[in-house]
């Protein structure tokens, strides 16, 4: 016998509710994923489903015990509205510092450093233009990070978000030509940021970074500037083993000079301060104490020391 349930889509600034969805408790998991796709427009390969606060059971018929009015939580890697991709969403995993730095009896459920880096990349103009931290509606203290998809973004491997969603090649594939000069500049920017912000899985992962085409303004055209590709970063990992050591780029005078130049371009100190303010003022972070606070504070102390060294020119 069918019943009526609610599908809750998590990932936008506010959850979207699809109520009174008729559902057979004996539905096969494949058919369930199809129903979720029809309702939310999120393809099965990007769906993360939760039921009663836990990941959907790995069963052929996972909803046999569902009752009238209960919810299925849907976290999609991409959140869409009217068929248009808007936000990339990820669960902030349990990132743990050294044993002595555990803030709570159990593992922290989210990594504050990752949130901070997204805010920083936003401020320096290399990351997504909008960043949201979203609480789990089941009150599990798990949080999700939602970032606005970058218009015109193509990964270094030549893939757009629509390519991944539609599982088909776009008109951009094979047409975005990154010159050796731009590729060299991109790699230098990522090298500096990786060392400074303790990033990993960036330089060697062409799906985590890419380019957008910058169209010059009329004023820039008068200055002789032409259309060019610029670096954008959409994902990365955090290397916690780096947070107690000085950034390795300080061992190279060439990298130091490059960092001084880019820090002015990015307004780095100002951008970092804005990112800190975003962390302090984020209502979800203020109300959720289940983060790696001590490890985050050590990370910020290291970054502040590095910025001071850059500004002093030493």
pLDDT tens, position by position, 124-142: 999 999 898 877 655 566 6
Q: Are 213 and 228 in contact (CB under 8 A)?
A: yes
CA distance 104 to 153: 39
CA distance 127 to 119: 8
Q: Are 170 and 160 in contact (CB under 8 A)?
A: yes
pLDDT at 279 over 80: yes
CA distance 108 to 185: 36
Most confident among 75-79, 135-139, 180-184, 241-245 (mean pLDDT):
241-245
pLDDT tens, position by position, 14-47: 778 899 999 999 999 999 999 988 888 776 766 7
pTM of the model as a whole: 0.74
Mean pLDDT, rounded, for 200-219: 86
pLDDT band at 80 (very low <50, low <70, confident <90, very high): low
Which of these, 40, 130, 49, lies nearest to 81 by C-alpha position? Answer: 40
For the chain, domains (ranges, CATH) are 3-76 (3.10.20.90), 81-312 (no CATH)
Question: Looking at the DSSP assignment, which residues form a beta bridge with residue 214?
Answer: 228
pLDDT at 79 over 70: no
pLDDT of residue 181: 81
CA distance 111 to 96: 8
């Amino acid at each position: 016998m069918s019943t009526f349930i609610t599908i809750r889509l998590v990932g936008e600034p506010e959850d979207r509710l699809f109520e009174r969805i008729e559902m057979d408790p004996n539905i096969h998991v494949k058919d369930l994923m199809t129903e979720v796709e029809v309702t939310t427009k999120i393809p099965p390969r990007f769906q993360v489903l939760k039921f009663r606060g836990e990941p959907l059971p790995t069963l052929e018929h996972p909803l046999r015990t569902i009752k009238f009015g209960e919810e299925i939580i849907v976290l999609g890697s991409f959140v869409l509205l009217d068929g248009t991709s808007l936000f990339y969403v990820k669960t902030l995993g349990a990132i743990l510092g050294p044993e002595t730095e555990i803030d709570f009896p159990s593992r922290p459920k989210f990594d504050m450093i990752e949130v901070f880096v997204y805010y920083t990349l936003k401020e320096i103009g290399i990351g997504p233009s909008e960043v949201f931290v979203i609480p789990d509606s089941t009150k599990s203290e798990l949080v999700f990070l939602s970032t606005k998809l970058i218009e015109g973004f193509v990964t270094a491997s030549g893939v757009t978000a629509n390519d991944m969603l539609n599982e088909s090649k776009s008109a951009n594939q094979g047409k975005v030509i990154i010159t050796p000069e731009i590729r060299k500049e991109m790699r230098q920017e990522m090298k500096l940021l990786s060392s400074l912000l303790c990033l990993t899985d960036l330089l060697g992962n062409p799906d985590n970074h890419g380019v957008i085409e910058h169209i010059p303004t009329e004023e820039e055209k008068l200055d002789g500037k032409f259309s060019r590709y610029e670096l954008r970063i959409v994902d990365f990992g955090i290397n916690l083993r780096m947070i107690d050591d000085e950034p390795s780029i300080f061992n190279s005078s060439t990298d130091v000079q490059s960092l001084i130049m880019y820090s002015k371009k990015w307004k780095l100190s100002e951008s970092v301060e804005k990112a800190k303010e975003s962390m302090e003022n984020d209502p979800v972070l203020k109300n959720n104490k289940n983060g790696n606070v001590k490890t985050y504070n050590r990370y910020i102390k290291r970054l502040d020391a590095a910025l001071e060294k850059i500004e002093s020119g030493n």
